[in-house]
Chain A
Amino acid sequence: MFQYILEAKKIEFSYLDGTKAIKDLSLKIPQGKKIAVVGNNGAGKTTLFLHFNGVHRPQKGEILFKGEKLSYNKTQLKTLRKNIGIVFQDPDNQLFSASVYQDISFGPVNLGWPENKIRAKIEKVMKQTGTWDLRDKPTHSLSHGQKKRVAIAGILVMEPEIIILDEPTAGLDPIYTGQIMKLLDDFNKNGTTIVLSSHNIDEIYAWADYVFVINAGEIIAQGLPEEVFRNENILKKANLIKPWVLEIFDELMGNTEIAEYTKIPRTREEIINIIRNLHSTCN
């Protein structure tokens, strides 16, 4: 129905100390897609995300949710926050209770769901995020990665239309990173729009449908991952490193006779397949 579920139109934002964190930034988030926002430290990712649920208010420009301009009145903010879930970068800023179970229950209780439904949801999401075994532990004795998973569970359980995650996999080990990305995929298949920021370019490249590159408060590039991450200029400007899959693929392209129609690989498996095929054609 809404092609773009979330839009920023020429927004500008400075912090109280005068830091201009966002400069004349515009972007459109298509509904039901997997969106990645990449950029170096201090580029403005976190600041941008806080605009999306009305915590920050742009000093210039406007934010649109489902085509409707945010006016920042109470009822509108309420529906906005019901529909947009944000997982914050630092889980310690999100976990307010010493009880894992209490913390995860907070959002759904606010949504006013019946208790049975909440309990069933909590259990399901806790099992999906691997936090069910942590339910009797106090949050202060959890490791960083465990806290992070609890924080993610606390948002997933609310089933928002858009889930925004600020570096969800920073500090997670590879197995849990894989599990969380897979879980996000599952939510996405059910229609949830996912927006995430990450410094793990390889992970983004394999996962995202669409990429925004942000630098010094501006969007300097956007497009399909295989386009954006092959543009040396952009990579250089935003302090990014080419995904290794692409790096190898481009190397292969330069040196061997790969058929023109080969699909650009996105994942480890795909590039390995290409290399295997290469071997078999040589022999």
Chain B
Amino acid sequence: MLYVDEFVYTNKLRNSHPLERFIFAFVTLIIGILTNNPLINLIIVTIMLSFLIYWAKIPSFVVVRLMLIPMGFLVLGVVTIAISISFSPNDMLAYIPVGTYYLGITFKSLNLAISTMLRALSSISCLYFLALTTPMIELIYVLEILKMPNIVTELMILVYRFIFIFIETAFNIYTAQSSRWGYCNFKRSIYSLGILFANLWGKAFLKSKALFISLLSRGYENKLQVLNPKYRFSKVYIITFGIIDLLLIIMAFI
């Protein structure tokens, strides 16, 4: 996750208004879910992945690896859809007899499985498009525009920052320990890891206290108000995204 984070901040699609990307990803997602035409789903996957690789310039191996993560679940789920049970093997494309039943794949179930698979993939690619082109801070900003309650966005700002402080602290303790042979054998490893976690909580607590003090010093009063950089809407993006979604809608529903 942290590794992916670095590509997000340097992706080439960042220079526009995050809302454009958010709406594009969201509308395309909805089209992909509502359509009954697997071809549309296939097109969506292609568009999203090629945008990520060729436009946002996210290295293709990162995109491929990310797409592979949910594959395990997906294949498992889809296989159970594809296989059906029936008394007669009449309209089955392939089957194995199990007692008096037949376990096999019908044309209908295969169709359903493939379209489910493609629909899931198109949804995933839409979400990855958003996640890989839009840093968390900008996503929070979009949520603010969409009138998400302040408490939620404030928490997201703090949590997101703290994840990194937490990991950095853990990593520093780990480095300090391992450079003094803290993980040389199993017994020491268990011992060192225990100390690491105990310290991590203590440090996280102190850090949050120190952070609170510094927020107070800058005039914090129950509300974490900030300004975001001025994002500009760009015609190129809006027109491109608009035309793509319009074509998809026409192809899918008309």
Contacts and interface: CB of A to CB of B under 8 A. Distances in A.
Interface of A: 50, 53, 55, 78, 81-82, 84-86, 88, 90, 92-99, 101-103, 105-111, 115, 118-119, 122, 135-141, 154-155, 158
Given A102-B226, A118-B227, A55 B165 contact: no
A98 B164 contact: yes
B157 interface: yes
B6 interface: yes
B161 A101 contact: no
A98 B164 CA distance: 9
Interface in B144-190: 157-158, 160-161, 164-165, 168
B202 interface: no
A98 B136 contact: yes
Size category of the binding interface on chain B = 20 to 34
B137 interface: yes
Contacts of B136: 98
A110 B229 contact: no
Contact of A135 (B157, B211, B220, B229): B229
Nearest to B213: A55
A106 B157 CA distance: 12
Given A81-B218, A81-B219, A141-B9, A109 B161 contact: no
B213 A115 contact: no
B211 A93 contact: yes
B211 A96 contact: yes
Q: Tell me whether chain B's interface is mostly helix, strand or loop, or mixed.
A: helix
A105 B227 contact: yes
Given A92-B165, A99-B228, A81 B157 contact: no
B65 interface: no
Nearest to A80: B217
Contact of B218 (A136, A141, A158): A158
Contacts of B225: 106, 109-110
Contacts of A105: 226-228
Most A CB contacts (10 A, CB to CB) among B214, B229, B230 go to B214
Given A78-B219, A92-B207, A137 B227 contact: no
B14 A136 contact: yes
Contacts of B168: 140
Contacts of B217: 53, 55, 81, 84-86, 88
Given A115-B227, A140-B164, A98 B219 contact: no
A161 to B, nearest CB: 14
Contacts of A154: 218
Nearest to A155: B218
Given A99-B137, A99-B228, A118-B227, A110 B161 contact: no
A136 to B, nearest CB: 7
B230 A90 contact: no
A53 B214 CA distance: 10
Given A55-B217, A86-B217, A93 B224 contact: no
Contacts of B135: 98, 138
B210 A107 contact: no
Given A50-B213, A138-B135, A101 B227 contact: yes
Given A97-B226, A98-B161, A139-B161, 4 more contacts: A88-B214, A97-B161, A98-B136, A140-B168
Contact of A107 (B207, B213, B218): B218
Contact of A94 (B6, B214, B229): B214
Nearest to B210: A93
Contact of B210 (A53, A88, A106, A108): A88
B226 A140 contact: no
Given A81-B217, A97-B137, A158-B218, A106 B229 contact: no
Contacts of B160: 98
B137 A102 contact: yes
29 contacts: A81-B216, A81-B217, A93-B207, A93-B210, A93-B211, A94-B211, A94-B214, A95-B161, A96-B215, A97-B157, A97-B161, A98-B135, A98-B136, A98-B160, A102-B137, A102-B227, A102-B228, A106-B220, A107-B218, A108-B227, A109-B225, A109-B227, A118-B227, A119-B227, A119-B230, A135-B229, A138-B164, A139-B161, A140-B165
A145 to B, nearest CB: 16
